[in-house]
Amino acid sequence: MPITRQPTLSPHPTVTRHLAAGATVDEHRHEVHQIVYAGRGVLAVTTDAGTWVAPATRALWIPAGTDHRHRAYGQTDLHTVGLPLEHNPLGLTRPAVLAVGPLLRELLIAYSSPGTEHTPEGRRLLAVLLDQLRHAPEQPLHLPVPRDPRLASIAVLLDEDPADRRTLAELGRVSGAGARTLSRLCHEELGMTFPQWRTQLRLHHALRLLAEDLPVTTVAHRCGWSSASAFIDVFRRTFGHTPAAHHRLP
């Protein structure tokens, strides 16, 4: 009988560490809530419900007890902050991506610095950090995982080639399902339309490629946008800055 590997219970939810490009952290969980922030690079957090990706202007909220794993894209400075169960300023019971302004960024970096957490200074930093979190808007950067094998097969195709521009009907001929059935499955399993989901997938890939310092035009074409300007427009509306400005982030 095969042995199922159980996620590790991580004893260090508050820490600062450097991850090389492509580095991973095996599946684990925490007994406390955790905020994960990449001060440099791009970090992806994956659970059985999907993947959340965060560049330097975003942080990831991971509720206590959530089995998850990390992957770094580009050289990544990882800052994680553990919060006791009674500290859930946004009342979130699922992973989420949060906007990070300049003050919240500095608080996350300072509080996760070695030797800070259990000091009087650390307690003061935590109080301000929690205040900032209460006003941190949630961002729609979740890429859910389809369960139905017909939709899952399409997800594999597009993940391998996000520039694939086939319509849902054309992709359906490969998966053995009609466009109407696949559209219904998108709403039921992903909570969004197929075009919305495909845009999310392309943005996830774009963040990863930008972390590798690829030119904006190259990223646009590899991820399926018809032009660099179309990619820039979607990126700016999603992240609040252009891909070129993203290159200059810390």
Please give the C-alpha separations between residue 180 and each of 175, 177, 198, in angstroms, as whole numbers.
13, 8, 17
Query: Which tokens in the block code for residue 170?
Result: 């054309």
pLDDT of residue 137: 86
Decide: 68 and 16 in contact? Cβ < 8 Å. no
Which fold does the domain 8-139 belong to in CATH? Answer: Jelly Rolls (2.60.120)
Q: What single string gives the DSSP state of each residue in 62-106?
A: E-TT--EEEEEEEEEEEEEEEE-TT--TT---S-EEEE--HHHHH
Rounded Cα distance between 81 and 132, Å, is: 14
Residue 215 has pLDDT above 70, yes or no: yes
Per-residue pLDDT of 33-88, as tens digits, reads: 999 999 888 889 998 888 888 888 889 999 999 999 999 988 899 999 999 888 88
Q: According to the model, what pLDDT value does residue 12 have?
A: 60
pLDDT at 140: 74
Phi, psi of 64 (to 5 degrees): -55, 140
Q: What is the pLDDT of residues 155-184, one digit of tens each?
A: 999 999 999 999 999 999 988 889 999 999
Q: How many degrees, rounded to 5, is the angle at CA 248 between CA 246 and CA 250?
A: 95
Residue-level pLDDT at 5 = 46
pLDDT at 89: 86
The fold adopted by the segment(s) 146-247 is Arc Repressor Mutant, subunit A (1.10.10)
Domain boundaries, the chain: 8-139, 146-247
- CA 196 – CA 185 distance, rounded (Å): 13
> What percent of the chain has a predicted confidence (pLDDT) above 70?
93
Predicted pLDDT at 247: 59
The sign of the torsion formed by the CA atoms of 79, 84, 90, 95 equals positive
Query: Any bridge partners for residue 42, and if so which?
Result: 73
Verdict on whether the full-model pTM lies above 0.75? yes
Average model confidence (pLDDT) for the chain? 88
- For every residue of 212-223, DSSP letters joined together read TT--HHHHHHHT
